[in-house]
Amino acid sequence: MIIRKVLQKGFSTLYNLKQFRHQEIPQNVSVDREFGDTILPNGIRVCTEFWPSELAHITIYIKCGSRNETEATSGTAHFLEHLHFKGTGRRSRDRLECDVENFGGQLNAYTSRENTSYTINAQKNKAENAVEILGDMLTNSIYAKSDVERERHTIYRELFETRKMQFETLIEISHRSAYKNHQMSLPILGKIQNMYSITRDMIAEYHQNNYYGENLIICGVGNIQQEQLCEYVTKHFSKIHKKKQQLKKEIPVNFQSEVFLMQSELTEDINVGLFYQGPEWTDPHYYHFLILQRLLGDKPSNFLEAAIFEQSTLNSFQKLLLDYPEITTQKAVYTPYKDTALFGNYFVVNPNQLDSCIEISKKIFEEYGNKVSAEELQRSKRRLFIELCQHETGNDISQAIANQILYFDRRVYRQEIAQNLANVTEVDIQNCVKNWILGKQPSLTIWGNIDPVLKKYKFDASQVGTH
């Protein structure tokens, strides 16, 4: 058993206000918490962060998601997540739900591109019950054919309903465009046309290929000690093998500056994504882009909001957007992954005003490449710092730890994050814009009422796709 343990104490003395550049990030992020990090013999990584509490939060992170699928198997990761709630060799679906409810637990799960997560919140004296149930779900689920057939309809309806979520749909379509012919282009929830062709064998094979020890991070926060969690995981995840015998080599990711359009009857407007390749999680410019995202911000939702904040907190981009009333919605987007990222803006605009989105995007990046206001930079840092301080729930912290272990292979404390943010300068942001955005062709995705767009701009038919 490999054990790495860190006792985080006295950060109020180790990190003082003077260490932060110009004192723009106040020093009130100190905590005294014990962090444990263990790799078990079967490869599972167990991490804990302890504090006195009535609750323990247990999160299982599996390093796989839609990115580990193919065109033919797209949707199996999400399908598998659903089936883990449908019964095991020990418990029926109803028994599983009752057992969680009987000890007062809350069970949640989600699938993303690069990981799948299962979380149970439980009373501190029921932590082992939580681990046992998660172990049962992930190692003993039976994936009954009858459950597979029933779940097809549930997932199909879920996919159909998510199409009505315009922002989320645009982001998915943008991945399809920017990462064409790569697993990154596959939708997180799966291709809707696959829902009636996915088989039980495909689902079981996905589990066998991805749910192995070296792919699992089990994180416990709150009132649970490292030794306790290691004992529980060793006992209840004993069926998990250390590694897959043959790991398939992934195709290198390649960002593409494509133009892609898709028709939808759900809106009279168009949803527009103008995205550039950004830095991945571990890139030195990661923190710069977090700040740049806040510099861009989101357009005020109404004139009253704009009137209240115009003189005090609106940045250059938001003030510029007020001159473009045809753009009804704008959101800055930064979604980093292990080896790439999407960065840019999401817009909602009248179909005849696509030029406005392209024009304003070009304007703001040219401005930030030339000059960044010190006041705006400090305001963006403060927003990030507030977000950082708000991540205080057990779920927030367990998810943060698991993400950090996944991408950085270590715990990244708030003090370090604050220090990195504090050290970003106006010149750093300018250089990021110059190096990553100016002179680069973005990926352009348009979804919605595209008929006027096709008539006005004469896009090629090959650039139009179906959902």
Query: How large is the average pLDDT for residues 424-448?
Result: 96
Instruction: Give yes or no for residue 13 having a pLDDT over 50.
Output: no
210 forms beta bridges with none
Q: Of 326, 346, 321, whose CA–CA distance to 335 is shortest?
A: 346
- pLDDT at residue number 28: 52
pLDDT of 8 higher than 50: no
Using the predicted structure, report yes or no on whether residue 18 has a pLDDT greater than 60.
no
DSSP letter at 297 equals -
- Predicted TM-score (pTM) of the model is 0.89
Residue burial 72-92, b: 16+ Cβ < 10 Å; e: rest? ebbbbbbbbbbbbbbbbeebe
Q: Are 74 and 194 in contact (CB under 8 A)?
A: yes
Quick one: pLDDT at residue 309? Answer: 54
Percent of the chain with pLDDT over 90: 73
Tell me: pLDDT of 10 over 90: no
What is the CB neighbour count within 10 angstroms for residue 156? 16
- Coil, helix or strand for 352? helix
CATH entry 3.30.830.10 includes domain 259-395+407-465: yes
Q: How much is the average pLDDT of 288-300?
A: 94
DSSP string, 42-89: TS-EEEEEE---SEEEEEEEES-SGGG--TTTTTHHHHHHHHTTSBBS
Break the chain into its structural domains and give their ranges.
Answer: 2-236, 259-395+407-465
| Average pLDDT of the segment spanning 168-183 | 95
Per-residue pLDDT band at 19 (split at 50, 70, 90):
very low
Instruction: Identify whether the C-beta of residue 233 lies closer than 8 Å to the C-beta of residue 46.
Output: yes
- Closest by Cα among 244, 280, 282 to 68: 244
Statement: residue 452 has pLDDT above 60: yes
Task: Output Rg (C-alpha) for the chain, integer angstroms.
Answer: 24
pLDDT tens-digit profile of 358-385? 999 999 999 999 999 999 999 999 999 8
Average pLDDT estimate for 68-74: 96
Tell me the mean pLDDT in the region 104-131: 95
Q: What is the pLDDT of residue 1?
A: 53
For the residues 395-412, what does the mean pLDDT come to?
94
Give the confidence band of 11 by pLDDT, cuts at 50, 70, 90. very low
Produce one character per residue of 215-228: b if its CB has 16 or more CB atoms within 10 Å, e if not.
Answer: bbbbbbbbbbebeb
User: What is the 8-class DSSP label of residue 279?
Assistant: -
Fold of 2-236: Cytochrome Bc1 Complex; Chain A, domain 1 (3.30.830)
The rounded distance, in Å, linking the Cα atoms of 26 and 395 is 25
Query: Does residue 169 have a pLDDT over 90?
Result: yes
